[in-house]
Amino acid sequence: MRTIPSSPTEGTLVELSGVDHSYGGTPAVYGVDLTVTPEELTAVVGPSGSGKTTLLRLLLGTLRPTRGVVRRRPGLAVGYVPQLETINWDFPVTVRECVLMARRQSRPWPWPTRAERLEVAEVLERLGIASVAGRRVRELSGGQQQRMFLARALLRRPALLLLDEPTSGLDLATRHDILHLLGELNRRGTAILLTTHDLNGIATHLPRVICLARTVVAHGPPESVIRPDILERTFGARLEVLEHLGLRVVVDREAGRRVGVS
Ligand SMILES: Nc1ncnc2c1ncn2[C@@H]1O[C@H](COP(=O)(O)OP(=O)(O)OP(=O)(O)O)[C@@H](O)[C@H]1O
């Protein structure tokens, strides 16, 4: 009899083998084989409902596979930044308190130690949101909210950071700031996997892209994955891919024709 190892292959953080997850009826994802390595900086792309959030939650461990195996490096610290739209903003806490809570999950509230208060102040400073530490979370701009959730995730000192659409709804400059921050974290040794609908603004700039259509259609560097045939299998639409200044640019001429602009 063959024993299935509980740890992933050496040099990987998480390994998914033949993973399905179903919320009831048809699987939201199926047959997923994937490894996440320590130096990863990856975009997961796919249409709405293609299983991107489900995949993140399987990597995080808050969802269990209905079939297949997920192996995590023992003791792996994983940070998760949820999609902003999924958050209940009626929660009446300040930014400082909200970040502190991430630190103090298993201990009584509301008496943080001095060390904890200092640690929170440092991370807020580092993410450029120290000036709004005393504000209610729902009063923040989209970019500030995103940074606050990033601060919460960073307090766990994660080796792997999972972000669900971290730039959706943000203006161009804020999107650049967030991406710059993520690039810095990655250079300092944090593996990062993020989901995005932004092919041109984000996915084509990252070293690795995973195309998901309930299963992994393709993964690899943008030059091997951002191709019309793979995009059609992923999105079910004809998209053109142009080369510009060494980058791939995805053009949706069909959408232009539908609104009569091309
Ligand atoms: N808690 C749930 N209960 C039942 N079905 C769910 C649940 N969460 C997700 N689903 C279904 O699973 C499928 C995949 O959803 P998921 O949120 O993973 O997709 P996604 O690619 O992240 O979508 P989007 O880009 O719109 O955020 C969808 O059909 C969705 O309706």
Give residue 110's pLDDT: 61
| Cβ neighbours, 10 Å, residue 135 | 15
Give residue 113's pLDDT: 81
Name the residue at shortest CA distance from atom 26 of ligand 1. Answer: 48
Q: Which of 22, 29, 44, 48 to mutate to test the pocket of ligand 1 (most atoms within 8 A of CB)?
A: 48
Query: Is pTM, for the whole model, over 0.80?
Result: yes
Q: Which of 20, 22, 32, 52 to mutate to test the pocket of ligand 1 (most atoms within 8 A of CB)?
A: 52
Name the band, by pLDDT with cuts 50, 70 and 90, for residue 253: confident
Give residue 107's pLDDT: 55
User: Where is average pLDDT lowest: 45-54, 66-75, 164-173, 206-215?
Assistant: 164-173
Give the Cα-Cα-Cα angle 102, 165, 203 (nearest 5 degrees): 130
Name the band, by pLDDT with cuts 50, 70 and 90, for residue 23: very high
Distance 50 CA to ligand 1 centre (A): 7
The dotted CATH code for 1-76+159-222 is 3.40.50.300
Q: Which amino acid is present at 152?
A: R
Q: Which of 30, 32, 54, 59 to mutate to test the pocket of ligand 1 (most atoms within 8 A of CB)?
A: 54
CATH 3.40.50.300 domain position(s) in the chain: 1-76+159-222
In angstroms, the CA 30 to CA 89 distance is 33
Give residue 89's pLDDT: 67
Closest C-alpha among 211, 155, 191, 210 to residue 73: 191
Q: Is 42 in the pocket of ligand 1 (CB under 6 A)?
A: no
In angstroms, the CA 152 to CA 144 distance is 12
